[in-house]
């Protein structure tokens, strides 16, 4: 299934023939994927299908055995050193566990990328952090520590940190893990709001099927290490693919398959 974002811009991310094995276990088996600029592309599929491993390639945490990853027009497989760091600066990442520093306040957690990676002056950092916290609904929480926050607020803090450098691309790995249905809906809505507010291209790995479809522009269904279906939500749901229908039925029933290294 093809499709365009309608803006005339190239894709934010293009993946071709991506392969990755860990020892004798082949996890990615020739993945092809386009993530259009300015849209949310959601990766779904049973545990062990390769979603998280694919995302780790997109965030440059892993290098493939074969294939290419083009981010914002640059083949990152050909880059090293400062050139690779330049590409990394274009995206923010929200990790599954949030990865907040327990010993830092909300303000310090969100400010951390600016303090470590930029030459911004303290007043400018404070202004940027305040603006970003407001965007995720955390005004007045600057001096709290992660242990004082609810699970939903911890996710919002982690999202603020991913957004604080104003990336062009946002990567989210299971952002609603551990949240109840009402907080899951709230985080989904927040992801969509911030994606639209900041004009982001987003790649989201999620197990919250079919709820996540409500905020997704495109869905890529992964199955046995490949992208089996990809397109607009209504296209994928209308595809009548037996593997996707089994996955959807299992997810609704609370069983998305057997966990494996592929994620």
142-190 residue pLDDT tens: 999 999 999 899 999 999 999 999 999 999 999 988 888 998 999 999 9
Q: CB under 8 Å to 116, separation ≥6 — which residues?
A: none
39-52 residue pLDDT tens: 999 999 998 899 99
* pLDDT recorded at residue 48: 87
Q: CB under 8 Å to 75, separation ≥6 — which residues?
A: 68, 69
* pLDDT recorded at residue 8: 45
* pLDDT recorded at residue 7: 41
* pLDDT recorded at residue 95: 82
* pLDDT recorded at residue 263: 60
* pLDDT recorded at residue 4: 40
* pLDDT recorded at residue 11: 92
* pLDDT recorded at residue 253: 56
CA torsion sign for 182, 95, 67, 75 is positive
Per-residue pLDDT of the chain (263 residues; tens, 9 = 90+): 444 444 445 899 999 999 999 999 999 999 999 999 999 999 999 988 999 999 999 999 899 999 999 998 888 888 888 888 888 888 999 987 768 999 999 999 999 999 998 889 999 999 999 999 999 999 999 999 999 999 899 999 999 999 999 999 999 999 988 888 998 999 999 999 999 999 999 999 999 999 999 999 999 999 999 999 999 999 999 998 999 999 998 876 554 443 444 56
> What is the C-alpha radius of gyration for the chain, rounded to an integer number of angstroms?
18
- Which domains are present in the chain? 10-90+168-263 (3.40.50.300), 102-166 (no CATH)
* pLDDT recorded at residue 77: 82
- The structure's pTM equals 0.88
């Amino acid at each position: 299934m093809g499709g365009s974002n309608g803006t005339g811009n190239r894709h934010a991310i293009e993946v071709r023939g991506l392969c990755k094995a860990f020892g004798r276990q082949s996890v990615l088996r020739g993945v092809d994927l386009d993530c259009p600029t300015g849209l949310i592309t959601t990766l779904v599929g049973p545990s062990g299908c390769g979603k998280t491993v694919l995302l780790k390639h997109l965030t440059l945490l892993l290098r493939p055995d074969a294939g290419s990853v083009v981010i914002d027009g640059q083949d990152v497989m050909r880059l090293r050193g400062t050139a690779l760091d330049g590409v990394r600066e274009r995206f923010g990442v929200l990790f599954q566990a949030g990865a907040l520093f327990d010993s830092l306040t909300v303000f310090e957690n969100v400010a951390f990328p600016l303090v470590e990676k930029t030459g911004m002056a303290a007043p400018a950092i404070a202004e940027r952090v305040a603006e970003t916290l407001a965007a995720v609904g955390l005004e007045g929480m600057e001096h709290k520590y992660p242990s004082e926050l609810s699970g939903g607020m911890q996710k919002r803090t982690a999202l603020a940190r991913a957004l604080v450098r104003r990336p062009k691309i946002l990567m989210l790995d299971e952002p609603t893990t551990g949240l109840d249905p009402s907080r899951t809906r709230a985080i989904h809505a927040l992801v969509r709001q911030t994606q639209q507010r900041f004009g982001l291209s987003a790649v989201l790995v999620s197990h919250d099927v079919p709820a996540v479809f409500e905020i997704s522009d495109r869905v890529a269904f992964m199955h046995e290490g490949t992208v089996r279906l990809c397109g607009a939500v209504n296209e994928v749901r209308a595809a009548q693919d037996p593997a996707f229908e089994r996955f959807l039925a299992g997810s609704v029933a609370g069983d998305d398959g057997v966990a494996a290294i592929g994620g």
